[in-house]
């Protein structure tokens, strides 16, 4: 009887030892697999984070629900989207882990029609987009083209902090006045963006190349309008056309 029990115990110990060894292999292999190069035929995923070895985020690829908030100066700001837009796409981050561009798109039927947008943007360092390839549409009013934008030298964090503070205020005249003062102070210190170049089509159905000055005022404009009329226009800083060249000037 004792001998039989002893044999059984020995067998049990062997079994346990084998089970533990197997567990070690399985557990270790799970970690090893996670560290090496992994091969999939196809995966479904809601978000992919591409990181540097130290963990710094460099790229996210995601659906709308998991789109990261804007990261500025290492801090996340819930500034994105609004008004039901559900963009998905790629967000780029610089060496410091701050957002520096993106590739996002959205399109859906709305109560009144359709709304769609798509943009590939690269941001100025510590600022907003400086070059952008984009398309936007609201109820069949459409724009599509390439934009190049001057941004102020000051960090966009100044703008983000102010905007967050204003947004936290209760709706009312006080909030509106604060927003107006905020805009005015930005204009006063030259912190407003300025479109310098646009190549594309506009909502008035013209195709155009527009070069603007440092305040964002168009000064040279090449246009083919919705009816096919072609012209080159020079403009002054008040927006008045000071010289026009057209095809019919040939005899001049």
Q: Does 124 bind another protein (CB under 8 A)?
A: no
Instruction: Report CA-CA distances (Å) from 33 to 73, 191, 199, 226, 252.
Output: 35, 50, 49, 59, 76
Q: Does 114 bind another protein (CB under 8 A)?
A: yes
Q: Which of residues 25-54 bind another protein (CB under 8 A)?
A: 26-27, 30-31, 33-48
Nearest to 169 by CA among 158, 154, 180: 180
Q: Does 158 bind another protein (CB under 8 A)?
A: no
Q: Which stretch binds another protein (CB under 8 A): 10-18, 159-167, 181-189, 233-241?
A: 10-18
Instruction: Spell out a b/e string for 95-115, using b for 16 or more CB atoms within 10 Å of the CB, else e.
Output: eebbbbbbbbbbeeeeeeeeb
**Residue with smaller CB distance to another protein, 60 or 127:** 60
Q: Which of residues 174-213 bind another protein (CB under 8 A)?
A: 199-201, 205, 207-209
Using CB atoms within 10 A of its CB, is residue 147 exposed (0-12), middle (13-18) or buried (19+)? buried
DSSP-derived secondary structure letter, 249: G
Q: Which of residues 126-155 bind another protein (CB under 8 A)?
A: 133-135, 137, 140, 142, 144-146
Contact residue for another protein among 57, 59, 61, 191 (CB under 8 A)? 61
Q: Which stretch binds another protein (CB under 8 A): 94-102, 156-164, 177-185, 223-231?
A: 223-231
């Amino acid at each position: 009887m004792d001998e039989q029990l002893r044999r059984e115990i020995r067998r049990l110990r062997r079994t346990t030892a084998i089970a533990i060894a197997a567990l070690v292999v399985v557990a270790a292999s799970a970690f090893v697999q996670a560290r090496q190069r992994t091969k999939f035929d196809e995966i479904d995923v809601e978000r992919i984070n591409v990181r540097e070895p130290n963990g710094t985020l460099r790229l996210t690829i995601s659906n709308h629900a998991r789109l990261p908030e804007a990261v500025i100066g290492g801090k996340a700001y819930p500034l994105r989207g609004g008004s039901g837009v559900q963009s998905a796409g790629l967000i780029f981050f610089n060496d410091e882990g701050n957002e520096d561009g993106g590739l996002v798109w959205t399109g859906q039927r709305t109560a009144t029609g359709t709304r769609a947008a798509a943009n590939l943007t690269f941001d100025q360092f510590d600022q907003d987009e400086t070059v952008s390839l984009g398309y936007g549409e609201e109820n069949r009013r459409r724009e599509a083209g390439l934009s190049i934008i001057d941004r102020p030298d000051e960090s966009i964090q100044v703008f983000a902090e102010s905007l967050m503070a204003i947004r936290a205020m209760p709706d009312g005249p006080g909030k509106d006045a604060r927003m107006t003062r905020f805009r005015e102070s930005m204009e006063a210190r030259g912190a407003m963006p300025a479109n310098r170049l646009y190549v594309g089509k506009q909502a008035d159905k013209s195709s155009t190349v527009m070069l603007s000055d440092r305040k964002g005022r168009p000064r040279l404009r090449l246009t083919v309008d919705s009816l096919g009329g072609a012209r080159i226009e020079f403009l002054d800083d008040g927006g008045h056309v000071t010289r026009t060249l057209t095809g019919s000037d040939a005899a001049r």
